[in-house]
């Protein structure tokens, strides 16, 4: 069963569990006030002054900071001193930065003679002395303290965290990617409710690390806050992804330029929803696939087929489902388990709307599975050569950017979110504060227990309404 926050007049067949939803007036009352601002520096100096950035790192220069929001509920009757909490988190952060020292540095442009830098330029990959780098100068991370007013933690919790409200944006720092050269790679905000419950909002530079490394850092920070040793030390050897002799002949992409000819994305309102798939729903979808496909593959199959229907594409319209793939185990030899940085590649599964409508669930699942199976050592090398030779050029943008015919998914379902316990319990929920682009999907471990998956998705309002009123989508 999927549990979702839906519009009014939801069909009875959708098998949805309704809970209280905040009214517009209640949301309007909510406010977040910053009460403190600190710079937290590592307790020990960084072991090196400059860190090489791989082509995968530099590719992310035009991306905004990756933002996540963690909700923590303090049990009733348990007293938590606010000053003690912030003090513990600050001290643990300073120690964590001594291990994850790239997060305390600053990203530097390719050359001081080029004050205006375009992340889409290929010069940073090919011109000597013009490569973007990370200066490990220990300038530190930014830590904000804030207070939430006009709303209680319980009022949000009772919704099952199934809505994303505008004030969630104020719970997580925002960093403009145009200011990457002066902005801290790591910005954190601790926001407290009157009852003592709190949120931790994190904004982390995508140049410095990907999602796997983000959760590695959060888990390590929490371990230190609990007085424990790190269970996994970070490995800062980004030259493991260095290509010594970039070659256009060896460069290739697992992608196709799929254009949206009939349903170009026009300005308009978009809706953000959280769909919660419990363990039984995920199992049913995997069984429908008919083979030992992963939960991710089964969910992507389900979502792709129904978003295609909801978008009302013509049968001959080509569609692309873009995957952000963790390549740590696809290198030869595999990257170290604690590799800290970006180790991702973008690949796309392609089919026409007519094919998705006519073929079986298992056939679509096989398309997705086969695409991910192609992400082998050869594909990884082709991707690295492409980035070194061409950079994040127009071809990558045309193949991988989201439009009305493409959707893109990233997954955090294999990350142990429950381990991000700073001493006051595991997160009650993890959310993305907003998704700016319709067609973007983010998977999180489900708040309904092991095996469940929460999916955050943004779609144009009309498309979302059609999706929510599709009984077979809501009850897989």
* Counted domains in the chain: 2
Does residue 406 register a pLDDT over 60? Answer: yes
363 and 279 in a single domain? The answer is yes
- What pLDDT shows up at residue 4? 43
pLDDT digits (tens, 9 = 90+) for 96-125: 999 999 999 999 888 644 333 333 333 333
In a domain, 43, yes or no: yes
Phi, psi of 35 (to 5 degrees): -110, -10
In a domain, 425, yes or no: no
Cα separation, 157 vs 159, in Å, equals 5
Nearest to 150 by CA among 160, 131, 165: 165
Token duo for residue 414 = 């294999």
Of 117-121, 149-153, 189-193, 282-286, the range with the lowest mean pLDDT is 117-121
CB 299 within 8 A of CB 290: no
Token duo for residue 44 = 């020990």
What mean pLDDT do residues 78-87 have? 87
**Which residues lie below 8 Å from residue 92, measured CB to CB, with a gap of 6+?**
221, 222, 224, 225, 422
229 and 254 in a single domain? The answer is no
> Over the chain, what is the mean pLDDT?
86
Using the 3D structure, point to which of 184, 213, 241 is the last residue of a domain.
241
In a domain, 424, yes or no: no
CB 252 within 8 A of CB 381: no
What mean pLDDT do residues 138-146 have? 98
pLDDT digits (tens, 9 = 90+) for 186-229: 999 999 999 999 999 999 999 999 999 999 999 999 999 999 99
pLDDT digits (tens, 9 = 90+) for 409-436: 998 878 889 899 999 999 999 999 988 7
In a domain, 353, yes or no: yes
In a domain, 143, yes or no: yes
Give the Cα-Cα-Cα angle 244, 249, 255 (nearest 5 degrees): 105
The band of 263, judged by pLDDT with boundaries at 50, 70 and 90, is low
pLDDT digits (tens, 9 = 90+) for 304-351: 999 999 999 989 999 999 999 999 999 999 999 999 999 999 999 999
Give residue 24's region: left, alpha or beta (phi > 0; psi -120 to 50): alpha
Token duo for residue 403 = 């439009």
Of 79-93, 157-171, 455-469, the range with the lowest mean pLDDT is 157-171
pLDDT winner (highest mean) among 38-47, 56-65, 162-171: 38-47
Phi, psi of 52 (to 5 degrees): -65, 140
Q: Is the peptide bond before 333 cis (omega within 30 degrees of 0)?
A: yes
**Which residues lie below 8 Å from residue 54, measured CB to CB, with a gap of 6+?**
238, 239, 241, 242, 341, 342, 384
Which domain CATH number covers 275?
Answer: 3.30.559.10
pLDDT digits (tens, 9 = 90+) for 386-402: 999 888 766 666 666 66
In a domain, 17, yes or no: no
335 and 225 in a single domain? The answer is no
CB 251 within 8 A of CB 389: yes
What mean pLDDT do residues 277-298 have? 93
Token duo for residue 377 = 């050592």
- CA distance to 55, 162, 255, 418, 427, per residue, from 222 (Å): 30, 25, 38, 10, 11
- What pLDDT shows up at residue 62? 80
Does residue 41 register a pLDDT over 90? Answer: yes
In a domain, 172, yes or no: yes
- What pLDDT shows up at residue 397? 67
55 and 160 in a single domain? The answer is yes
In a domain, 423, yes or no: no
Q: How many CA atoms lie within 13 A of 365 on its CB side?
A: 19
Using the 3D structure, point to which of 178, 213, 241 is the last residue of a domain.
241
Token duo for residue 74 = 């303090």
Threshold 0.85, pTM exceeds: yes
Domain that holds residue 312: 2-7+250-418+434-474
Using the 3D structure, point to which of 206, 241, 276 is the last residue of a domain.
241
Nearest to 306 by CA among 356, 348, 341, 360: 356
206 and 294 in a single domain? The answer is no
- What pLDDT shows up at residue 257? 61
């Amino acid at each position: 069963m999927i549990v979702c926050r839906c519009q009014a007049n939801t069909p009875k067949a959708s098998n949805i569990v309704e809970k209280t939803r905040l009214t517009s007036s209640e949301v309007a009352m909510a406010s977040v006030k910053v009460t403190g601002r600190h710079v937290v520096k590592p307790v020990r100096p960084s072991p090196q002054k400059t860190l090489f950035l791989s082509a995968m790192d530099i590719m992310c220069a035009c991306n905004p900071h990756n933002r996540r929001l963690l909700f923590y509920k303090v049990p009733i009757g348990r007293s938590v001193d606010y000053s003690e909490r912030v003090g513990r988190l600050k001290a643990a952060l300073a120690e964590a930065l001594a291990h994850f020292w790239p997060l305390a540095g600053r990203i530097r442009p390719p050359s001081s003679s080029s004050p205006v830098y375009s992340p889409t330029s290929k010069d940073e990959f090919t011109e000597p002395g013009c490569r973007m780098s990370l200066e490990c100068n220990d300038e530190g991370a930014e830590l904000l303290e804030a207070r939430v007013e006009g709303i209680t933690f319980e009022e949000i919790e009772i919704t099952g965290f199934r809505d994303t409200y505008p004030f969630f944006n104020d719970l997580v720092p925002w960093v403009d990617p145009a200011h990457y050269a002066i902005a801290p790679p790591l910005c954190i905000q601790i926001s407290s409710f009157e009852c003592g419950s709190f949120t931790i909002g994190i904004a982390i530079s995508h140049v410095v690390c990907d999602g796997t490394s983000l959760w590695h850092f959060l888990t390590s920070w929490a371990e230190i806050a609990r007085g424990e040793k790190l269970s996994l030390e970070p490995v800062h050897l980004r030259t493991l992804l260095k290509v010594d002799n970039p070659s256009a002949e060896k460069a290739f992409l697992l992608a196709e330029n799929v254009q949206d000819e009939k349903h170009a994305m026009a300005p308009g309102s978009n809706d953000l929803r959280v769909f919660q798939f419990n363990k039984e729903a995920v199992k049913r979808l995997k069984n429908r696939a008919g083979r030992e496909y992963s939960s991710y593959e089964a969910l992507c199959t389900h979502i792709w087929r129904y978003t295609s229907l909801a978008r009302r594409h013509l049968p001959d319209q080509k569609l692309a489902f873009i995957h952000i793939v963790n390549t740590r185990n696809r290198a030869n030899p595999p990257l170290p388990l604690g590799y800290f940085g970006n180790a991702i590649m973008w690949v796309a599964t392609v089919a026409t709307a007519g094919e998705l409508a006519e073929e079986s669930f298992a056939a679509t699942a096989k398309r997705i599975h086969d695409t991910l199976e192609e992400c082998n050592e050869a594909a990884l090398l082709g991707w690295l050569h492409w980035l070194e030779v061409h950079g994040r050029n127009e071809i990558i943008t045309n193949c991988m950017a989201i439009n009305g015919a493409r959707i893109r998914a990233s997954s955090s379902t294999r990350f142990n979110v429950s381990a991000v316990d700073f001493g006051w319990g595991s997160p009650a929920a993890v959310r993305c504060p907003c998704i700016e682009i319709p067609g973007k999907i983010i998977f999180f471990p489900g708040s309904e227990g092991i095996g469940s998956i929460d999916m955050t998705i943004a779609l144009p309002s009309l498309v979302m309404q059609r999706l929510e009123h599709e009984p077979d989508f809501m009850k897989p």
